[in-house]
Structure formats: structure tokens, C-alpha cells
Amino acid sequence: MRIAVTIFLTDETITPTRLARELEQRGFAGLYLPEHTHIPVERTTPYPAGGDLPREYGRTLDPFVALGQAAAVTERLGLGTGITLVAQHDPIDLAKQIATVDHLSGGRLTLGLGYGWNVEEAADHGVEWRTRRDLVRDRMALMRALWSEEPTAYEGQFGSVRASLAYPKPVQKPRGPVVGPRTLVGGAAGPKLFAHIAEYADGWLPIGGRGLSEALPALREAWADAGRDPAALQVVPYAVQPSAGKLAYYAELGIEEAVVQLPPAGEGEVLALLDQYGEFVG
């Protein structure tokens, strides 16, 4: 099983370049970074994990800038977002950012995307909460038009783009309905999520990795109903606390990659934990 990591990189943690070099040297499969543009101080949305919102949420580095740094000092390490809050971006600008990182890294980017949990953060971006999933679907379709080999126009519910010259293109070629880099959708199991995954993604990024044995049959059914190749579905448990038993359980389910959580800490603490996680690599 491939073992990747995720971490809230901030202005107070280990740097992207130092971490990326260490991960590649130690044989880890990838580095996934989360995103929050800002955290409004006057916030009524509760932290999903309960309690006070951890400090790092308001200090995260821009994931694409940080991944660009990581790409520049590595050759094999996978690079991913976990997750990109697509609703909070202009899709034309975002398509350019994604394609540029993927191009410069030689096709190593995974776009992990999701819908968010912080109502106030999204509202500052003009996002209407009840329609955010449809907004993400629409923006993904617009970006696919820009990533297409031939100039392709798109007219959607929330936005449009003329047929355009838009380079660079993502490295990976279209596969089924999916255009762009490897694309995984995060979110809680449910019919709407699984329908969207089958429509425009390569698979699911289940946060925490719980409840997979119950959810996977429904995801596979939605995938098959969309006419997708069963062998192409990718499920990548995300932000998990690893153990030999848990990883063996994932392997029994046919999962080939897991993303383990690192603390938002300095170099010493992070590298010490990488030493411990090294037993799972390879």
C-alpha cells in the first residue's frame, strides 16, 4: 500500500521544501495539503471535530504555492490537495493554478476537492451554502472545458467560459468523463456525493476512513450505474491515524493508498513521527 501524508503547513511549521525532501527520501508516496483562505473571527459554525477550532486553521499556507515549492525539490513525490475548496475560487483562475502545478511537476498532482464546513468563510467568497455542491459541480465542468485539448465553450448554471486557448494542459489524458489531473472528492457518504464522484472524478477521499465497509457497496453501485470501469475506482482514506491493523483492513477492501495525518508542528516533531510511520512504508 502507498502511504502519503497530510499536514496543515503554516507559517509556524516545518517548511514545504524540507518536508517534501524528507518524504521522498523516506519512500512516502505523496504530500497532501488542506486549504482555508481565512477564518472569520465572528463564527457560528461549529468545528466539526468538536471543541475549539485549532490554531492552524487560520494560518494555513496557500496549498498550490506550497506544492509548487515541494515539486521543485522532488522528482517522484505525489502532490495533492486535501481539500481544495472549489466553491471559493474563480474557476478560470483555479484551472490555471491546477494545470500549472501539474505541468511543472510532470503530472504528479492529485486534485482533492470538497465542499467545506465553514459557512462564514464560504459566505465571504459569495457562496450560497445550500447550493455549494451544485456550484462545485458546475465549476468542475467549466475547468474541464478549459483543460480540454481543443478550445471548448461552457455555459453553466453558475458560470460560463468562451472557447479559449488555455495552456498548460494537465498531463494526464482524459479517462471516461474525467478531464484533468487525478481527481478525488472528499465528503460524507451519501447518494449525491457518490453520484458526483461517478460523474466527474476518479474516486473518493473519505476523511478519517471510517465506515468504509458499509459505504463502498453504494459507491460501487453509483459508479457502475454511471458506466464507469469498476477497476478504475480509487478510494483513498484521508487524514487517518495509522496502525498495522487498520492498513491491513484497508488492503482487504482493495484500497491501494492511504493518507496519514501529521501534526502542524516544527521540524523535530514532524521528522520524529515520520520515523515512526516509516514502518508502514514499502
Task: Give the separation between CA 37 and CA 28, rounded to whole angstroms.
Answer: 27
pLDDT at position 244: 96
- Backbone angle region of 116, left / alpha / beta, with phi > 0 → left and psi within -120 to 50 → alpha: left
Angle between helices 267-277 and 16-26 (to 10 degrees): 20
* Mean of all residue pLDDT scores within the chain: 97
- Angle formed at CA 112 by CA 126 and CA 67, multiple of 5 degrees: 95
Give strand ranges (E) for 56-121.
78-81, 84-85, 109-114
How many C-beta neighbours within 10 Å does residue 142 have?
A: 23
When pLDDT is averaged across residues 136-154 and rounded to a whole number, the result is: 98
Model pLDDT for residues 236-274, shown as the tens digit of each residue:
999 999 999 999 999 999 999 999 999 999 999 999 999
Model confidence at 68: pLDDT above 80: yes
210: confidence class by pLDDT, cuts 50, 70, 90: confident
- Angle formed at CA 205 by CA 200 and CA 207, multiple of 5 degrees: 145
pLDDT at position 149: 97
Model pLDDT for residues 3-62, shown as the tens digit of each residue:
999 999 999 999 999 999 999 999 999 999 999 999 999 999 999 999 999 999 999 999
